[in-house]
Amino acid sequence: MYVICITDPANFSASTVGGAGFDTQLFLFKCDGTGVVHNDDCGSLQSCIDNSTGCVTEAGIYLLAITGYNQDPVDSDGNLIWNDSPFGEIRCPDGPGAANPIAGWTGSGGAGTYTIQLQGAYFVGPEGCATPPGCEGDVNGDGVVDDADLLQVLFAFGNFCMGCPEDLNNDNWVDDADLLIVLFNFGCGG
């Protein structure tokens, strides 16, 4: 599994379409192992997930898994977290183990090289969410440091926040140092 930070849930997507030579499946989990969203076939034998279902309810750190067809996540009782079908839909967890965290995998799938294209998300670095390319202080990852970023820091101000995008200096607190980063870079990218 890959650890990713979703910074823009409304525009989040992950796709292997055109980037894999085998039949892929994509699964997104919360850090506690509970399922969020899944897709098997996205118009081809490759997979894509997005937030068209509303399954991703907030920005934050998630786990992204890729498997070959028919290798599926199960809970501690061996129940599927997602039902096997329908194959072509992006779905929130709908299997008998939907409410439970992943405990393992069932079945066997294909393997090979692949590329996962992400939008509205970044890979997590050692200090938490990797800084998006562009301007320092761009909390929401839209390429501009503006009032939206300022409000996001202000609403999280004073909170212990390990790995959250508002903690711009990665000290696990949203405080005046983070606010100053936004203010000093205000207008960047605009």
CATH of the domain at 143: 1.10.1330.10
At residue 111, the pLDDT reads 83
At residue 135, the pLDDT reads 77
Domain that holds residue 89: 2-121
Coil/strand/helix, residue 183:
helix
Side chain identity, residue 122: Y
Angstrom CA distances, 48 to 20, 61, 140, 162, stand at: 12, 19, 22, 28
At residue 131, the pLDDT reads 45
At residue 130, the pLDDT reads 46
Same-domain check for residues 95 and 149: no
- How far is 145 from 157, CA to CA, in rounded Å? 17
What predicted TM-score, i.e. pTM, was given to this entire model? 0.68
Is residue 127 a part of any domain in this protein? Answer: no
Average pLDDT of each block of 10 consecutive residues along the chain (190 residues)?
A: 88 93 94 95 92 92 92 97 93 97 90 88 62 72 86 94 88 93 82
At residue 125, the pLDDT reads 60
Same-domain check for residues 21 and 68: yes
Same-domain check for residues 114 and 138: no
- How far is 27 from 185, CA to CA, in rounded Å? 36
Is residue 190 a part of any domain in this protein? Answer: no
Q: Which phi and psi angles does 125 have, rounded to 5°?
A: -95, 180
Give buried/exposed letters for 83-108 (b at 16+ CB in 10 A, else e).
eeeeeeebbebebebbebbbeeeeee
The DSSP call for residue 86 is -
Quote the number of domains for the chain.
2
Same-domain check for residues 116 and 136: no
Same-domain check for residues 55 and 100: yes
- Residues 41, 87: contact at Cβ < 8 Å? yes
